[in-house]
Structure 1
Amino acid sequence: MKHWAAPIAAPVAILLLAGCAGTRTGPAPDFTSYVVMGEYGAAVARVLIDAPGCPEIEIDGRKQPMQLRAPAATIALRPTPSAPADSKPAEFPLLTCETALPRDAASARVLGRALPLPAAAPQRIVVIGDTGCRLQKSSNSWQACQDSTQYPFAAVAAQAAAWKPDLVIHVGDYHYRENACPEGNTGCAGSPWGYGWEAWDEDFFAPGAKLLDAAPWVMARGNHENCTRGGQGYWRFLDPRPLLKGRDCNAAADDNAGNYSDPYAIPIGQDTQLLVLDTANTSWKGLKPGDTGYDKYRDLYRKLDALAQRAPHNIGIAHHPLLGIGTDHNADGSVKLLLGDAGLSASFGAVNPQLLPATIQVMLGGHIHMWQQLSFSSGHPSQFVAGFAGTQEDIIPLPAPLPAGTQPAPGAVIEHFSAWQDGFGFMTMERRGPEQWAVEVHDLDGRIRNRCTIDGRRSQCEVARVN
């Protein structure tokens, strides 16, 4: 089976790769479908379709029309991180349609295609992040999007789907094809670019098709989905909440609304919640009193704390890992460590020096393009980083062992640390109890490269550094 994409001027045809190909007959339907998990566990069915109107959805044998979330449109060019000559208006030639799914629904279908339904207490969870193919002029980064070994998200998604998850968590950064591939570069020649549908399709929906078909998704937001970048597509396609005018990233004057949103909770059984944070507009340079982000993220923390009191067990999801460790080069070529996230540490830390509510046991993040696990003796939650599912990897090596006294945030004393650099794959979590999870790290062929256990706030892995 293959993915078909027509030029923008013609109808866009998408074949969403099925988890069970034998259930479909006839020509490929011209739509993409998936299910997004939202506030308090509400599930939303989405369909992206090139048609005059939204299709019907059949729930438990009864048909009803889907509602229009966003019409087809071309959005006028707005400020982006690139020069106007390297930017273009965002074209969305498809309708975005949606329907809230009843909690007790036993089946749901659109145009004959079955939709994955949520489990009340998911036992098997896939965690991925940073999945797009990097085309960025400012950093002179031109990932070979046409080479499946250099951009393997489709293979990662297929292997993750074959693991048969009950739920998929994407920790953010879906869209990376920001600028046109340079002339003569065969690795990315012909790739769509910009912030419209074509780039979103090639970066996320087409390669992720099998996994979209396999289970409902939690869609966290990354910095590549802030308003100056892929925010328009994020609000149209991925956020589970209603699409509001002024919170759609279409006009720069509305960015203070579009760049921030409230956290939300998703119950997953056994008195456990997922807490989803929008950290798209934080700054690694830090935030200070008086900055818009400083005030916004202090408010986000207070709302997060209130949500965290609703259950004794919580797993936080934030694209930017407050307790992760990245790498870069100093001017002399030596390796320097990038510790946590300065913007969130300043704003959250102004409310709580421990950074996170005591009822959060685990944090899931991305942003750093590798896999990591950190556990602390200082009462901080374990941090897992899963930014290794497709985007160009961070290959500046982490020191082994870490320098004595390394702390990703003030007072965060590392007890156990594990990492895998320069390897693509996905992470899985399998429930063993209210606070216990078995974690596996899989490569793009599905082979297990590391195993870890989570018990409350503590975690530990079999291998400290995956080869």
Structure 2
Amino acid sequence: MLPASLIAASLAALLAGCATVGQPPAFSSYVVLGEHGAAVARVLIAAPACPDIVIDQRPRPMALRAPAATVPLRPTPSAPADSKPAAFPLLTCEAQLPAAGSYAGASVLGRALPVPAAAPQRIVVIGDTGCRLQKNSNSYQACNREADYPFAAIAAAAAAWRPELVIHVGDYHYRENACPEGNAGCAGSPWGYGWDAWNADFFAPGAALLQAAPWVMARGNHENCARGGQGYWRLLDPRPLLPGRDCNAADDDATGNYSAPYAVPIGQDTQLLVMDTANTTWKGLKPGDLGYDKYRELYRQVEALAGQAPRNIGIDHHPLLGMGADRKADGAIVLLPGDAGLQQAFGSLNPQLLPAGIQAMLSGHVHLWEQVSFASGHPSQFISGFSGTAEDTVPLPERLPDGVTPAPGAVVEQFSSWVDGFGFMTMERQGAERWLVQVHDLQGRVRNTCQLDGKRSRCALAQVK
């Protein structure tokens, strides 16, 4: 197998240039799962028209999801001088795939597409994978050094684990502003919200894993409308791309920043519930705020979906039931609870925050790995936000102090974490509601092992060191 860095560099070079004469043009291809588990094949290609997809040796045309375009500059978190229009000089093509188990294989331009499993037994969970270039926080990750930005190595190691499904818990895009002059760590990096930055942050380094298995793609705050939302809707979301829900115009953000949840069945009467929390805030939402009402509606929709199966695993970017840490100017460490905006909105309808049928939550946003189990009937919380973006480094305690909890009424009985380490998480099915959960480093080595049984979970190590 080629080194992950070579694979990523080769694909990036191909996508940046013209196709070799007599050969098909370079392209990205992947499969994303959406509502009811429907599988959509996607191809991103610089070509006059979408290619055919071949399913069981029968070609059929792919539909054009989005044409090549440069979207006019819209308001972003950065000053206009540090922003630019988002350019997508390639087609986004798609085709609905048959139901899992009803066809043998599919390909585009000779490249095989991963075939969905009706009941995946081996699942990779990653999150927060982009390379941070952000002027507002004066934070510039060394994107050019694999040791500092190892997403390509993580994607290759995760692909070598042979998953049947990949779950990304959000935050794909981080290259928001130009690298400062003289900074060798990120010199030459593309930036902004167009294809070049999306390719450098996600598609090129993630190529091996995109080809290994179908994906469930949750949306993070870095994909809200003011940031990478245009690329998220164009490239990643499994549902139809609709005018007004594309984040192109700020006047449409009340629509583009929010979307309904959907369920992905994974066998044994279990489904994944994918939630869009891109526009919440840890500072909290007041009753009457647009986000407060939107997330109350999200809760109602999740509750209805959860009632369709006895077992559910929730997927969102912002952890309701996880802990973070911050260091004050005087050096003191402050422990931070779960997302206040979601807790307020969901908690106004259910003091337990989540429907009873949810067994566990998979989230990101906090740049570390974490597991929390409760004696209070809350689902276990796993955070897998350690797959490429600059890590959080403020240490967490081995045991939370008495009275410290991620959410009102949540009684912690088991807590495990890995701070300042890159990697990915895996889940292997052991029964209807039993999963073996393992934490891997960027070489694929297992660093911690956990058991999820019903809503409760327990790990071998309280801390990975």
Which residue is 1:99 aligned to?
Answer: 95
When the two chains are superposed, the root-mean-square deviation of aligned CA atoms in Å is: 1.4
Give the counterpart letter for 2:171 in structure 1.
Answer: D
Which residue is 2:40 aligned to?
Answer: 44
CA shift, 1:12, in A, is: 6.0
Which residue is 2:319 aligned to?
Answer: 321
Kindly indicate whether residue 225 of structure 2 is the aligned counterpart of residue 227 of structure 1. Answer: yes
Mapping for residues 173-184 of structure 1, pairs under 5 Å: 173-184=171-182
TM-score by length of 1: 0.96
Alignment length (residue pairs): 455
Mapping for residues 303-382 of structure 1, pairs under 5 Å: 303-382=301-380
Mapping for residues 8-23 of structure 1, pairs under 5 Å: 11=17
Name the SS of the counterpart of 1:125 in structure 2.
strand
Give the counterpart letter for 1:246 in structure 2.
Answer: G
CA shift, 1:329, in A, is: 2.0
Mapping for residues 94-243 of structure 1, pairs under 5 Å: 94-103=90-99, 104-243=102-241
Distance in 2, Cα, partners of 1:4 & 1:257: 34
Give the counterpart letter for 1:32 in structure 2.
Answer: S
Which residue is 1:253 aligned to?
Answer: 251
Distance in 2, Cα, partners of 1:60 & 1:411: 53
Distance in 2, Cα, partners of 1:211 & 1:258: 28
CA shift, 1:6, in A, is: 5.5
Mean Cα deviation higher: 400-409 or 320-329: 400-409
Give the counterpart letter for 2:95 in structure 1.
Answer: T
Distance in 2, Cα, partners of 1:454 & 1:296: 31
Select which of 80, 83, 96 maps to 1:84: 80
Which residue is 1:66 aligned to?
Answer: 62
Give the counterpart letter for 1:44 in structure 2.
Answer: V
Percent identity, aligned pairs only, is 73
Q: Verify the 8 A CA contact 2:398 2:415 in the aligned structure 1.
A: no
Give the counterpart letter for 1:394 in structure 2.
Answer: D
Distance in 2, Cα, partners of 1:251 & 1:390: 30
Q: For each residue in 1:3-49, what CA deviation from the matched residue of structure 2 results, as whole angstroms up to 9, or x when unmatched?
A: 244699x75669xxxxxxxxxxx967411000000000100000000
CA shift, 1:263, in A, is: 0.3
Name the SS of the counterpart of 1:63 in structure 2.
strand
Q: Verify the 8 A CA contact 2:25 2:47 in the aligned structure 1.
A: no
Give the counterpart letter for 1:227 in structure 2.
Answer: C
CA shift, 1:338, in A, is: 1.4
CA shift, 1:398, in A, is: 1.2
Q: Structure 1: state its 5+ residue gaps.
A: 15-25
Q: Verify the 8 A CA contact 1:160 1:446 in the aligned structure 2.
A: yes
Which residue is 2:419 aligned to?
Answer: 421
Which residue is 1:33 aligned to?
Answer: 29
Relative distance call for 1:5 and 1:455 in structure 2 (3 A) is closer
Which residue is 1:447 aligned to?
Answer: 445
Q: Verify the 8 A CA contact 1:4 1:13 in the aligned structure 2.
A: no
CA shift, 1:399, in A, is: 2.7
CA shift, 1:315, in A, is: 0.3
TM-score by length of 2: 0.96
Give the counterpart letter for 2:316 in structure 1.
Answer: A
Mapping for residues 283-294 of structure 1, pairs under 5 Å: 283-294=281-292
Distance in 2, Cα, partners of 1:162 & 1:358: 35
Which residue is 1:18 aligned to?
Answer: none
Name the SS of the counterpart of 1:430 in structure 2.
strand
Distance in 2, Cα, partners of 1:394 & 1:283: 18
Q: Verify the 8 A CA contact 1:220 1:318 in the aligned structure 2.
A: yes
CA shift, 1:333, in A, is: 2.6
Give the counterpart letter for 2:200 in structure 1.
Answer: E
Q: Structure 2: state its 5+ residue gaps.
A: 1-6
